[in-house]
Amino acid sequence: MLLLFFALSGGGLLLWAAYHLYQLHRASRKSGTFCGRTASPGDCGHCEADCGPPTDTPVEQKINFFRHQGINTQTIEQQLQLLLHQTDEDHIHISVFGEISSGKSSLINLLLKDEKQQTAVTGGTTRSVRVFQWQESGSIAPQSIYLLDYPGHNDAAEPDEAEQALIEQGLLWSHVIIYVCTGDLSQSEITALKPLIQSGRPVLVALNKSDQYALQQIQQLQNQILSKLEALKTPFSQDICLAVISCGGSQDIKKVRASGEVEYQTIQRRPQLDALFAQLTGILQNYTPAALHKLRQQAVYHSLHLEIERLNEHYQQQQITGIISRIQQQVYDERLNHHPDSADDEQKAYLSQTANALCLQLAEHFDTRIKHTQLQRYTQNILDLTYQHSHYLLSLVHQVLQSLPQTQKNTDGSVLYPALYVMMLDFTGHLAAQQLRSSNRDFSPAAALVEQAFRQRSDQEWMESLRLFLHGLNS
């Protein structure tokens, strides 16, 4: 239904998206980040990346690459499709968010003046996005305005996966965001508001049910809410406004007569939306439709960049894990029937050679060269630490093996040391990858750095690396 609101563009957005993806591809092998808010086409103003003409690199090529690696690309494909439908400047989309029972659906019903859209008595009745054309918005703006009613999120500390997906969807469609609350912002409301405020769209926070507070309480709440909103702002954020409103509704009043008789009456509270209309009018006067569309496009570009960055990180982790796992498997198989001896020179030489091979494979993956002396020093530092703390590490191996019944029969030593080497190689590989992925690609083998990383690794991290490997053997 939403796609009917937009007209297809001629492909310029696709080229711009392709260009930004190309820039991300150039930087993905480094630690640079991208900025989604451009000052003007050709000049980002917030990052050092060149913002020249688009390249001929197709967006689909990047998406297909990740898809062929078994990575879920659904989100970025949806964002890309959205870019092709975001050029209609005759419509403004206002998305309304809020916790369950905050009164956001009642607010939308009042704005629509549609008596058929009644809010149920129980909270949480809106479980899908509802879209309405605001017919009575002429006093707010001359353009057609669509109201998007998003499901209320619960009061948990963090939104669940479905709620987070709906918030992200709302960020893609919105020109302006209204967030409805009923008091001082809770942690869950702050969590939900953070991506909305940092999305680069104007945000209007509506403090509902104000008729339940005294004037002094309202002033105190305003100060508290504004302070928390200010803390969420970033340079990418746009205007943040606060409106004190009441959506009215019914209220039961208890009266006790002089005779002692108790009487209950239901009264209707009068809606008070003047502050919201004033703030919304101000927003739509400060931002032209073209400016709102540009902000939305920039926000989607930014989201697109972040998603590509996330997919690239996922892909890099897959590659690193695969390289490490192959070396671990080789060592485990070759050492499984080898008589363990912690002081055996041949054993140490074998491990040193294997650790060197692991680092060289990682360096090849990152297209980086490592000096032989640096590599020898790095792996020797790790081997020294491994043997110095072998009793500690072997105790962790014992704990893991005891939690896996299928390996308990081999606790005589035929599994202990191969498992120890698996943990050592996991540490060696991930620390090397971290160094190779640093901004200057400086592979630092300093003993102090290795020892610090070794000591900072928790028991759980050591054991989890072994559990994952053994689980792979048995799956």
- Model confidence pLDDT, tens digit, residues 338-389: 665 545 778 888 899 999 999 999 999 888 888 888 888 999 999 999 989 9
pLDDT band of residue 3 (cuts 50, 70, 90) is: very low
Supply the pLDDT for residue 220.
Answer: 95
> Would you say residue 300 has pLDDT above 80?
no
- Any idea what DSSP says for residue 410? G
pLDDT band of residue 262 (cuts 50, 70, 90) is: confident
Q: Which has more confidence, 173 or 209?
A: 209
Residue 108, classified by CB atoms within 10 Å of its CB into exposed (0-12), middle (13-18) or buried (19+), is: buried
Q: Which has more confidence, 123 or 458?
A: 458
**Residue type for 105, please?**
S
> In which residue ranges of the chain is CATH 3.40.50.300 found?
90-287
> Would you say residue 52 has pLDDT above 90?
no
The answer as to CATH 3.40.50.300 being correct for domain 90-287 is yes
The answer to whether residues 140 and 163 touch, using CB atoms and an 8 Å cutoff, is no
Q: Which has more confidence, 410 or 56?
A: 410
For the segment 381-410, what is each residue's pLDDT rounded down to a tens digit? 999 999 899 899 999 999 998 887 654 445
> Would you say residue 456 has pLDDT above 80?
yes
CA distances (Å), origin 141, targets 134, 165, 171, 283, 380:
11, 30, 21, 10, 70
Rounded Cα–Cα distance for residues 28 and 309 (Å): 7
Supply the pLDDT for residue 406.
Answer: 54
Supply the pLDDT for residue 326.
Answer: 94
For the segment 142-154, what is each residue's pLDDT rounded down to a tens digit? 778 889 888 887 7
pLDDT band of residue 269 (cuts 50, 70, 90) is: confident
* Residue 203, both tokens: 């945000």
